[in-house]
Amino acid sequence: MKQFYLYLLSALISACASSPGFDTRDIDPSLTPERVVHSLSANQGKTLLWGGLIININNLEQLTRIEVLAYPLNDAQLPLHNQSPMGRFLVDYQGFLEPSNYAPGRMITVRGTLIKLQQGKIGESNYLYPVLNSQQLYLWPQDAGQGKTRFHIGIGIGM
């Protein structure tokens, strides 16, 4: 009977603390934004899984373009913003995304196809951005990655 309760408790915890569920089978984690800038021809068309902090969002006529400062991802695909950044990239999302939700400073993870390199600027410096055509996008809760638990177990009355 004790094993049953342990199994039930672990099932409840894993159900409450779920991740976005990205398919990572065909993803090469060694391909970072910095690396693909130097090898576009070998990597164009590949599916990538990147994440980081939103720097800027721009709604265009047919799509939304998001500029992201890339960070390594943990096992749940959450960007580890306490580690060194791995360059910047752009995400092309077909349709409209609300800029107040996808605001600078929010964390995002994207699965998409590398389609091209885009010339841009960071301040006065020229910058070459890899561009992903978004297949799957996940906007993390604002408190994600800050050491807070995303589940509570208890009995009582809340007010």
Give residue-wise pLDDT tens across range 4-23. Answer: 443 433 444 444 445 678 88
* pLDDT tens digits along 48-63: 999 999 999 999 999 9
Q: Which domain holds residue 128?
A: 21-139
Consecutive H or E run containing 30: none
Question: Which residues of the chain fall short of a pLDDT of 70?
Answer: 1-19, 145-159
Is the residue at 86 inside a domain? yes
Is the residue at 146 inside a domain? no
Is the residue at 8 inside a domain? no
CATH number at residue 68: 2.40.50.140
Is the residue at 151 inside a domain? no
**pTM of the shown model:** 0.79
d(CA 156, CA 159): 10
Consecutive H or E run containing 126: strand 125-139
Is the residue at 36 inside a domain? yes
Is the residue at 45 inside a domain? yes
Is the residue at 49 inside a domain? yes
* 88: Cα separation from own chain's centroid: 12
d(CA 90, CA 20): 20
Number of domains forming the structure of the chain = 1
User: What pLDDT is recorded for position 155?
Assistant: 55
State the chain's mean pLDDT as an integer.
85
